[in-house]
Structure 1
Amino acid sequence: MVETVLLVGVVASVFVGFNIGGSSTGITWGPSVGAGIVSKTTAAAVMTVFVFLGGMTVGRNVMDTLSEGIIDVELTLAAGVAILFFIGLGMLIANIFGVPVPTSMTTVGAIAGLGLATDTLNYEMIAGIITWWIVTPIIGLWVGVLIGRYVYPWVNEQVTITKSDGPLLALERGDRVPKPTLGPNTTSTELATTIAVLVIGCYMAFSAGASNVPNAAAPLVGTADGLEDTTAIIVATLAISLGGFTIARRTMDSVGGELSDIPLLAALFVMVTASTITTVLSWAGIPISLVMATVMTIVGIGWGRATRPITVREAVTRDPETADIELGAIVSEEKVDEAAPAIGEPESEDVLRGDELFNPRAIIKYVSMWVIGPSMSTLLAYGFFAVVPGVA
């Protein structure tokens, strides 16, 4: 009987990991794939390696929180399987609405529902986690504002990320030992920016592993008859990899299509900021959504970039109706040989043209799902474990 329940749990874990792979691989590598810097297959392969590293290192702290910190009793195997079911159900609801799944929040909600139903919830721990859920979007937003207002325009003047025709590198066979050299159309700047893009993608994949591997693995680790930590991490990683090689191919094509149309350079700033926030909180054992930090950083960079025509003093003292702020400012990048206007000066016509940076309705939908997702998983788990207390 135990073996059967464990098998069902592994299948549920694979299902959760598969969907995580589809979502997180698209968010991590979509901009790079769209720019032609890496192929979808290469992105999925690199994603697998760094997701595993993130799960095996920093992710263990999050796993401890999910398996032991939220409730005061040890999970039964059946309860762990049920929690995976509610995580999968929460992901399904989010997918129906076409929103990246707040998996960490859904996982915490399902475990909290069990704790409420069995009167074993660690209220101090859950209060700390929810506090970080509130603080994280604010941090991402304001870091993005500072980058968009003061850093991004200056970097954009200095750096151009391009992809030339032909291979990036080639082998020079003049000597006995072939030596790597630049491709026929590759410049040293292109090589440096490509390496930077790949390194940032690997960093974000590591962050995704640290925050997401525990969601698929922890419910089976915190049980008496479940899996060992390392085994659960390997299973979750393989499931995420499967999602990355399959359903993520479509996600990598469409990522950002609804929420934003930002250029690759701005996307790299978003990736570094969101990954750093997520990795630091995961190291602290806080289950956090990479999507949450990513979305709010995008909004912050756009807002900061768009408010450059007015100074901070004007923003505080002027009539808001007379402040000329264009939300589409970041969409059309400045030319490299032209300096961005100083703070307080009007933008050029080229920069002010373009679609809006973000769709406010999409932002509302995303934020709503951050509330609805964990709330639904909490209520469903609470109802189940209250009606069937023997499972817990």
Structure 2
Amino acid sequence: MQELLYVSALAASVFMGISIGASTVASAFGPVNSARSANVLRAAFLAGFFAFIGALTQGAKVTETVGSGIIGGEIATVQAALILFIAALLVIVSVLGDYPMPTAFTVIGAVIGSGIAFGNPLRYQGIFKVIGYWILIPFLAVGLSFAIAKLLRRYVSKENSERKIKILLLVTGCYVAYSAGASAVGLAVGPLTGLIPSTGALLLMGGLSILMGAWLYSPRIIRAISFDYSNIGPRRSVAALGTAAILAQIGIFFGIPISFNEAVIASVIGSGLVEGKSNADTGKISRTVLAWTGAFFLSMALTAGAGFLILGL
């Protein structure tokens, strides 16, 4: 039975990595495809490759946070499988419904819910650090993307620098994919730290899973996302994605996974303010914030409920 649970936990981790590769990493190359800086298949290849490199080189801190910074004690095998299956299921459902659900919110919520059910002590300092940064991200993203968009508007001519903008957008997309892999790999493998003591092995497994998801499933999502970015132009796309990558790197430094959906949406709003206004639909933003907050508590509740059910059997 223990062997079956172990295999199930590994399968759930791979499933989560594939989900991340298909959704989170793909967002880096939507605007690249929109600006015709790379075709869809090449974009998917580059996204997966750079995400894999990011996972291997910078994924350790976030993995440590997810594995031991949110709840104390050892995460049991059945507990790890439960965390990853529920979080990945919520993400996959959102992808199939073309509604982006923040992976970071669902995984952290599931980790907390599992701790409540399985009796692991909650590390409130770590929880507040993560949630505090999530709350700061929209404000940081609006300000930073506004500043970057202002600089690009001033120094990069839209009419005379089309090739330069395309190259800059491609480089930014690669950097975002790298940062996404580094930030998100811990969400896929962090719960397994008690099962697999080697961080290097965990990061390799998570990185390969993300690579697989990006290569197999991200082309469809890249095509869909490219239409969203086609309306804001390549310079605003550079500002939005560059901001998301910078915020991800700050989070990685402190071991905090971020939601790229949250960072990019706020960055698009900030870059739009350069033109004196933003096309943001405040009603839609409010509904999105409520949905994401609901996703956090839903994953927590589902994992806690399933955990109590398993322990009661």
TM over 0.5: yes
Q: Does 1:13 align with 2:9?
A: no
198 and 152 in structure 1: CA distance in 2 versus 1, 3 angstrom threshold: closer
In the other structure, the counterpart of 1:300 is 270
Q: Which has the larger radius of gyration?
A: 1
Amino acid of the residue matched to residue 12 of structure 2?
A
Shift of 1:68: 0.9
Structure 1 window deviating more from structure 2 (360-369 vs 38-47): it is 360-369
Aligned partners of 1:51 and 1:207 also within 8 Å? yes
Shift of 1:52: 2.0
In the other structure, the counterpart of 1:352 is none
Aligned partners of 2:25 and 2:181 also within 8 Å? no
Distance (whole Å) between structure 1 residues aligned to residue 217 and residue 288 of structure 2: 21
Shift of 1:194: 4.3
Aligned partners of 1:259 and 1:358 also within 8 Å? no
SS in 2 for 1:247: helix
Q: Among 193, 211, 226, which residue is 1:241 paired with? A: 211
Shift of 1:277: 0.7
Distance (whole Å) between structure 1 residues aligned to residue 312 and residue 70 of structure 2: 20
User: What aligned pairs does 1:130-279 form with structure 2 within 5 A after superposition?
Assistant: 130-148=131-149, 150-157=150-157, 160=160, 162=162, 190=163, 192-220=164-192, 222-223=193-194, 225-226=195-196, 228-255=198-225, 257=227, 261-279=231-249
57 and 157 in structure 1: CA distance in 2 versus 1, 3 angstrom threshold: same
% identical aligned pairs: 28
Distance (whole Å) between structure 1 residues aligned to residue 165 and residue 268 of structure 2: 21
Aligned partners of 1:61 and 1:282 also within 8 Å? yes
In the other structure, the counterpart of 2:289 is 367
Shift of 1:388: 3.0
TM-score normalized with structure 1 length: 0.73
Shift of 1:197: 2.7
User: What aligned pairs does 1:270-349 form with structure 2 within 5 A after superposition?
Assistant: 270-302=240-272, 304-307=273-276, 326-327=277-278
SS in 2 for 1:281: helix
Amino acid of the residue matched to residue 157 of structure 1?
S
In the other structure, the counterpart of 2:67 is 67
Distance (whole Å) between structure 2 residues aligned to residue 258 and residue 194 of structure 1: 17
Distance (whole Å) between structure 1 residues aligned to residue 5 and residue 245 of structure 2: 35
97 and 258 in structure 1: CA distance in 2 versus 1, 3 angstrom threshold: farther
Shift of 1:298: 0.4
Shift of 1:115: 2.0
In the other structure, the counterpart of 1:120 is 121
Structure 1 window deviating more from structure 2 (276-285 vs 84-93): it is 84-93
Shift of 1:48: 2.4
Gaps (5+ residues) in structure 2?
Answer: none
Shift of 1:255: 0.5
Distance (whole Å) between structure 2 residues aligned to residue 276 and residue 97 of structure 1: 29
In the other structure, the counterpart of 2:103 is 103
Q: Could you say what the CA RMSD is over the residues aligned between the two structures, in angstroms?
A: 2.3
Stretches (4+) displaced over 4 A: 158-161
Distance (whole Å) between structure 2 residues aligned to residue 109 and residue 80 of structure 1: 13
Q: How many residues of Structure 1 are paired with residues of Structure 2 in the alignment?
A: 312
Shift of 1:258: 5.1
SS in 2 for 1:240: helix
Distance (whole Å) between structure 1 residues aligned to residue 161 and residue 31 of structure 2: 12
In the other structure, the counterpart of 2:306 is 384
Aligned partners of 2:31 and 2:237 also within 8 Å? yes
SS in 1 for 2:23: helix
299 and 260 in structure 1: CA distance in 2 versus 1, 3 angstrom threshold: farther
SS in 2 for 1:64: helix
Q: Does 1:27 align with 2:27?
A: yes
In the other structure, the counterpart of 1:310 is none
387 and 144 in structure 1: CA distance in 2 versus 1, 3 angstrom threshold: same
SS in 1 for 2:36: coil
251 and 361 in structure 1: CA distance in 2 versus 1, 3 angstrom threshold: farther
SS in 2 for 1:101: coil
SS in 1 for 2:24: helix
**If each structure's helix is expressed as a fraction of its own residues, which one has the higher value?**
2
In the other structure, the counterpart of 1:349 is none
Aligned partners of 1:145 and 1:305 also within 8 Å? yes
In the other structure, the counterpart of 1:78 is 78
Amino acid of the residue matched to residue 236 of structure 1?
G
SS in 1 for 2:258: coil
